[in-house]
Amino acid sequence: MSDSSLDPPMGPTDGKPPTDSRRRMRTDARFRRLCVGIATISVMVLVLLLVSILYQGIPVLSWTLLGGTPEPDPADAGMFPAVMGTVWICALCAMITLPIGVATAVLLEEFKPRTKIAAWCYSVIQLNISNLAGVPSVVYGILGLTAFVSMFSFFGNASKPGQAAWEIGATYYDQFTNLGSDPFLTMGEEVDERYFLVPVDDRADPPTVPTQGMNAFENDGNRLVPVVVHVVDTMEEMPTDPEVLSAGIDSAAVPGRISEKAWYYFQLPLGRGVLAGALTLMLVILPVIIISTQEALRGVPSSLRDGALGIGATPWQVVWNVTLPSAIPGIMTGSILAMSRAIGETAPILIIAGIIYIRTAPQHLMDSYTVMPLQIYNWTSRPQEDFHQLAAGGIIVLLGILLSFNAVAVVIRQRMQKPLS
């Protein structure tokens, strides 16, 4: 025990604080003013950027921008395919990442190993997760290109990504055009251009050789109508009747192979589709979700676990009924931040998708796509000022979607929040 009578006198002796205390107080005040100044400058820069974007973007906000497709004319250009691509990517990424991330965090935090070897493996995994959170996203893009797009060439030639080695839900046709599409044969006659589709069993089958009376299909709106194709020998005199030219094809015609893919179309390797993009974004945000979930689980008082174990609950029952419900607010907060990062990511999507001029929304998991950051980047890279205004409008739409995602997550978090006592 120390003798208090030997300690130096504490506090001011003449009504003023000691010199050392005044110096520390001045340092504290200067540091506080520095923090306030930096925060004020940061907020002012953010407000200035938002005002500039709103000033340029609000005049171009219209249904054409939301529901239109990319066009060469800025007045007709829209970003509907990019909006739908962003929704597809983020929804898939959330559905895949959240269960995996939360389950991994629960395993690492609530079921810690007891043996030395398992503890060493645990520490290695924990260290790697912490390091992966700081890896640049472009690295994840390259990893996704190898792991998901070409799947390490296990299912085909990696130099030709998208060449499916196995697929389901696709129907292939050989497409012929009628003789009426050739202006030299119609000689001024107005003959409609028609396309005849001949089904083929496999994508690798040789091209169909035209034969007289060949059965084919013609696309009539949303359905295929069977037609009988007349084949005209190129060594004989060409017909001049518009009806024959309309329903006939050249005997030496070489078809083009096209495909029709159902909503459940799936292929291996995955190719540059929506699923590969979502899996790549999963790599980007998975470490963030794991770490934030672990922090949320650590914030749950241990007395709750002890109490549940004390009344006979199993460890899994403790996790499912006590720990996870109590940690949901923290988990949702981390998930919101992670999804916000995923919505704005450009580099990995640019590597995976590659194409930024898409005129249709994704129809299935393997379909090509574009996302809003890529569309905005495309518009900002053009020299015309009108496209720059469209980019500002696109940023406003992107912020609106981001805030909508966050609002939904906040509502879910508030509804599932329960008191810890």
Same domain membership, residue 102 and residue 210: no
Confidence of residue 385 (pLDDT cuts 50, 70, 90): confident
**Weakest mean pLDDT among 23-32, 157-166, 267-276, 398-407:** 157-166
Q: Which residue has the higher pLDDT, 227 or 101?
A: 101
Q: Which residue has the higher pLDDT, 134 or 267?
A: 267
In a domain? residue 281: yes
In a domain? residue 291: yes
Q: Which residue has the higher pLDDT, 189 or 117?
A: 117
In a domain? residue 82: yes
135: phi > 0 → left, psi -120 to 50 → alpha, else beta; which? beta
In DSSP terms, 315 is beta-bridged to none
Q: Which of 323, 66, 94 lies closest to 314, judged by CA? A: 323
Same domain membership, residue 292 and residue 247: no
Same domain membership, residue 303 and residue 394: yes
Confidence of residue 29 (pLDDT cuts 50, 70, 90): very high
Confidence of residue 3 (pLDDT cuts 50, 70, 90): very low
Classified as helix, coil or strand, 123 is: helix
Q: Which of 331, 333, 340 lies closest to 285, judged by CA? A: 340
pLDDT in tens, 318-359: 999 889 888 888 888 888 888 888 888 888 888 888 666 788
pLDDT averaged over the chain? 83
**Chain centroid, CA 71 distance in Å:** 23
Report the percent of the chain where pLDDT is more than 70.
Answer: 88
Determine contact, residues 174/207, Cβ cutoff 8 Å: yes
Give me the mean pLDDT over the 297-312 stretch: 89
In a domain? residue 58: no
Per DSSP, helices labelled H in 111-234 are 116-132, 137-144, 183-186
- pLDDT at 191 (0 to 100): 66
Other CB atoms within 10 A of residue 276 CB: 25
Give me the mean pLDDT over the 89-117 stretch: 90
Give me the mean pLDDT over the 263-268 stretch: 89
Residue 9 in this model has a pLDDT that exceeds 60: no
Q: Which residue has the higher pLDDT, 55 or 417?
A: 55
Same domain membership, residue 410 and residue 315: yes
Same domain membership, residue 137 and residue 277: yes
Same domain membership, residue 391 and residue 297: yes
Q: Containing domain of residue 138, as a range?
A: 64-154+272-417
pLDDT in tens, 170-188: 889 998 888 766 666 656 6
Same domain membership, residue 255 and residue 299: no
β-pairing, 166-177 vs 248-250, is unpaired
In a domain? residue 32: no
Distance of alpha carbon 181 from alpha carbon 245, whole angstroms: 8
Same domain membership, residue 188 and residue 329: no
- pLDDT at 400 (0 to 100): 87
DSSP state letters, 318-332: HIIIIIHHHHHHHHH
User: Which of 245, 266, 287 lies at the terminal end of a domain, its last residue?
Assistant: 266
Confidence of residue 189 (pLDDT cuts 50, 70, 90): low
Within 8 A by CB and 6+ apart from 358, the residues are: 70, 81, 82, 85, 368, 369, 370
User: Which of 250, 266, 282 lies at the terminal end of a domain, its last residue?
Assistant: 266
Residue 317 in this model has a pLDDT that exceeds 80: yes
Within 8 A by CB and 6+ apart from 195, the residues are: 175, 176, 177, 178, 218, 219
Same domain membership, residue 257 and residue 297: no
Here the CATH number for the domain that contains residue 405 is 1.10.3720.10
Same domain membership, residue 380 and residue 323: yes
Q: Which residue has the higher pLDDT, 279 or 401?
A: 279
Distance of alpha carbon 60 from alpha carbon 53, whole angstroms: 11
Residue 381 identity: S
In a domain? residue 24: no
pLDDT in tens, 232-260: 776 777 666 777 777 788 888 888 888 88
Task: Quote the number of domains for the chain.
Answer: 2
Other CB atoms within 10 A of residue 205 CB: 11
Confidence of residue 420 (pLDDT cuts 50, 70, 90): low
Same domain membership, residue 301 and residue 207: no
pLDDT in tens, 55-84: 988 888 888 888 888 888 888 888 999 999
Give me the mean pLDDT over the 260-280 stretch: 89
β-pairing, 195-200 vs 166-177, is antiparallel
User: Which of 249, 266, 283 lies at the terminal end of a domain, its last residue?
Assistant: 266
Classified as helix, coil or strand, 72 is: coil
- pLDDT at 4 (0 to 100): 47
Same domain membership, residue 304 and residue 397: yes
pLDDT in tens, 212-223: 778 888 887 778
Of these ranges, 80-84, 165-169, 398-402, the one predicted with the greatest mean pLDDT is 80-84
